[in-house]
Amino acid sequence: MPKRYVIIPNLALYLNKGAHHIAEELQKAITYDDLQLYHSWEKAKNPKKHVLKNRFSVSGIIEIEVEDEAQLKKTELRKFCEKILSLSSKEEKEKELSTLVKAILVKGFLLPCNQLSLQNREALQVAAFNFNPNDETKLLLNEPPLLYLSNIPRDIHFLLFIDHQFFLNFENWRQYNARESKGKGCVYDLFQGMALLGDFLTRYQKTKTVTFQEIKSLHGVLSESVYYNSTDDRRGVIRDDYNTFPLHADAVTVAGLKELLQRIKADNQADGFRIGYFNRSHIISDFCFTLSWLIRTEILQKKSSDKEESTPDLLIVLRELEKKVIDEIIQKKKDIPPSDIELIVKKFLEDFVPHEKVNKANFWANLSYYYGDLSHRFIKSSPKEEFHYDLFHSRAHALASAGGVESTTVNIHDYNDLELEALAKKIFQLIQEGKEIYLFTPKRDLAEKWADEAIAHFNNIIQKANGANEIIEVTDNLVHELEILHLFHDVNCRTNYLLMNFLFLAHSIKWAMEFNPNRLDAYSSKERIAQHKEAIFRTDYIIANQIQISKNNAVIDHAYRCARLGLQELDYADIDLSAMGADTQYQEISQPFTDALRAFEKSFNNTLTTKIKKYDAQPTQLSSNLFSVPKEYIEFAKALKQFQADYNVRHFFTTVATLSEIPEIEEDIKSLRVLTGFSEDSVKTMGMNFNNVG
């Protein structure tokens, strides 16, 4: 069957909307007579010329397979594209696309057409897990936590804490780190957080509790880069007032939204949770844009040159322009009280002092450009005073609230179950349509109160939990509560994600590599627990398939480095970067965690070796007339040797359970429980009789 290969610009950026994007680009190429059909992958990878060669690093290639050459005519391909674009759902578009497009090459990976969407790639990966959520034994650790994590190769340790969706979308730690690269970068912070695991587990085994201060301390470590060189250090600091965060399409379900609505109704607190649009006023963005334009039209265009330096006289002129712009915005935004606009602009000018941030020479030109840049910056990220105004205004016009709320917001306190269900479906649909729907969190004092209560409840009930399912449910309830409370200004999800896994390990549950940790926000309790179990199976899958996963990571890493060097290729496989020298950044930022793993393994083996020597005394070394070695010593030494060989913590403590009648052995069993993290709760989790373990 005839095959042809077509370069699709920017395909890597639009994979999740791939069918629509491919059809649009094919249609565009046909319309502008730019369509080039290559006869092989190799020819498509290395075209002699292409109009968008400077975009090859984010472009891809599709393989078209037809039954007849006539199907490759432009008129036929145009009909094919038009049919795809006429379909309403993403699933229908992908199905139609697959009738001709059989494979895609993007970022060095060759994918069948049915893996175009991330959703399908997730489903195919989960299908490979042999996932059985009802098999508790698959959720339990067989090894001490840090030795278990050592089964993962160092080069992919980052998969423990970055959203796995990014890796399945051909990104690794580099792209994740680039999002927050200040200081040493957010991935460095995450490895620093991971390095705390050993101390956390040791402390937890002694206290049997997690504290608010520990959570703040963890946040402090994880937010180092976010607040690097910041004048407002918020590391480990609870937010000032209200907070809010967006509910993303992939992180919400109807059932999850309904649970949030039920929570809002039950709380019945005006200063509690709400859900609704986040309405941006864009006061400062508009102010900056208008002032930039006004400086150009009223100052620069009326001067032959701009040699003037900043002087008190020029600042008087600037104040007049600022007043003029404020008046224009007041006229434009009649739904916002003039006093609010004036206050927001005043606070912005006091906090940013823009005229002091530009070079004094060519003052007006520099100031105009600077205000132009600020206008773009504040379209999506508002300065503090404007953010608070928008937040309070949005809360007052929420789609769901309860208690003594404003008349402008929807009060759901008297809603019945059917009405809550209908509202959940409405909000879900708005989010899927791309609307900006946010969860508005409680005021600070109430948020702290509820966090304290959630932590106390967890510490009390976790001691009574039996089995992996109960441990996961109780832990999920805590981290979900902390996540929706959004206690900190930033870095909430990362803090809660690590906390959840630290607590799992402390109770002999395996690490959960979440596909999208933001699903903690607005999935239902049952759905979240299913996600955690899938994530635990994902960790096992990564360990079992680590050679291929490491190879995939190497391809992603190589493509990233090539693109950063400005190389524009559709496939970087043949590019040799050896002359560039070794890139040691990952080795450096991951070192603290690697050191922690190695230190534990060394300490663990040294401890076992010492105890083996203690109990492995041979009868020939002793006077047989005076002494005999208790059989319990021999059995214990044998169990210790096996433990050192296979690290199987469950088998070891099961084997030695009957030996605790010897006081000396009992003490050593207790010390090994602390060292391995195999506590009384762990025994209950594994369904053993703790009284027989010592």
- The 10s digit of each residue's pLDDT in 219-230 is 999 999 999 988
d(CA 683, CA 687): 6
Beta-sheet strand order (sheet of 244-246): 244-246, 437-440, 274-277
Domain membership flag for residue 465: no
Q: What is the pLDDT of residue 693?
A: 42
d(CA 1, CA 646): 54
Section 28-54 average pLDDT: 91
Which of 98, 116, 134 is the last residue before a domain boundary? 116
Tens-digit pLDDT profile for residues 388-434: 999 999 999 999 999 999 999 999 999 999 999 999 999 999 999 99
Domain membership flag for residue 588: no
Going by pLDDT thresholds of 50, 70 and 90, the confidence category of residue 617 is low
What single letter denotes the amino acid at residue 464?
Answer: K
On the question of pLDDT at 581 being above 90, the answer is no
Q: What is the pLDDT of residue 361?
A: 82
Confirm if 447 and 441 have CB atoms less than 8 A apart: yes
Which of 390, 408, 429 is the last residue before a domain boundary? 390
Going by pLDDT thresholds of 50, 70 and 90, the confidence category of residue 620 is very low
Tens-digit pLDDT profile for residues 112-123: 999 999 999 999
Please give the share of the chain, as a percent, with pLDDT higher than 90: 80
Tens-digit pLDDT profile for residues 311-344: 677 889 999 999 999 999 999 999 999 999 999 9
Q: What is the pLDDT of residue 691?
A: 43
Domain membership flag for residue 316: yes
Q: What is the pLDDT of residue 452?
A: 98
Domain membership flag for residue 276: no
Tens-digit pLDDT profile for residues 489-539: 999 999 999 999 999 999 999 999 999 999 999 999 999 999 999 999 999
Q: What are phi and psi of 65, to 5 degrees?
A: -125, 125
Q: What is the pLDDT of residue 335?
A: 93
Which of 334, 368, 390 is the last residue before a domain boundary? 390
369-378 CB burial, b ≥16 within 10 A, e <16: ebbbebbeeb
Domain membership flag for residue 15: yes
- Token code pair at residue 651: 């088998």
What single letter denotes the amino acid at residue 561?
Answer: R
d(CA 287, CA 348): 10
pTM of the model: 0.91
Domain that holds residue 684: 597-692
On the question of pLDDT at 455 being above 90, the answer is yes
Section 188-203 average pLDDT: 95
Section 152-164 average pLDDT: 98
Section 651-675 average pLDDT: 90
d(CA 49, CA 46): 9
Going by pLDDT thresholds of 50, 70 and 90, the confidence category of residue 609 is very high
Torsion of CA 9, 10, 15, 16, to 10 degrees: -120
Q: What is the pLDDT of residue 103?
A: 96
Q: What is the pLDDT of residue 305?
A: 47
Mean pLDDT of the chain: 92
Q: What is the pLDDT of residue 309?
A: 60
Please give the share of the chain, as a percent, with pLDDT higher than 70: 95
Section 436-441 average pLDDT: 97
Cα distance from N-terminal residue to C-terminal residue, the chain? 71
In total, how many domains does the chain have?
Answer: 3
- CA neighbor of 498 nearest in space, from 160, 247, 238: 160
Confirm if 363 and 309 have CB atoms less than 8 A apart: yes
What single letter denotes the amino acid at residue 504?
Answer: F
Domain membership flag for residue 365: yes
On the question of pLDDT at 694 being above 50, the answer is no
> What three-state secondary structure class fits 102?
strand
Q: What counts of helices (H) and strands (E) characterise the chain?
A: 29, 7
Domain membership flag for residue 170: no
Tens-digit pLDDT profile for residues 58-100: 999 999 999 999 999 999 999 999 999 999 999 999 999 999 9
Question: Per mean pLDDT, which range of 31-35, 160-164, 678-682 is the poorest?
Answer: 678-682
Q: What is the pLDDT of residue 231?
A: 80
d(CA 42, CA 11): 18
Greater confidence (190 vs 681) lies with 190
Domain membership flag for residue 300: yes
On the question of pLDDT at 161 being above 80, the answer is yes
Question: Per mean pLDDT, which range of 198-202, 274-278, 512-516 is the poorest?
Answer: 198-202
Section 583-607 average pLDDT: 95
Sequence-ordered list of residues with C-beta below 8 angstroms from that of 126, at least 6 positions apart, any chain: 534, 537, 538
Tens-digit pLDDT profile for residues 224-270: 999 998 888 899 999 999 999 999 999 999 999 999 999 999 999 99
Query: How many residues are there in the chain?
Result: 694
Sequence-ordered list of residues with C-beta below 8 angstroms from that of 224, at least 6 positions apart, any chain: 183, 184, 188, 189, 192, 235
- Going along 127-281, which residue ranges are E strands? 244-246, 274-277
Torsion of CA 160, 164, 169, 170, to 10 degrees: 10
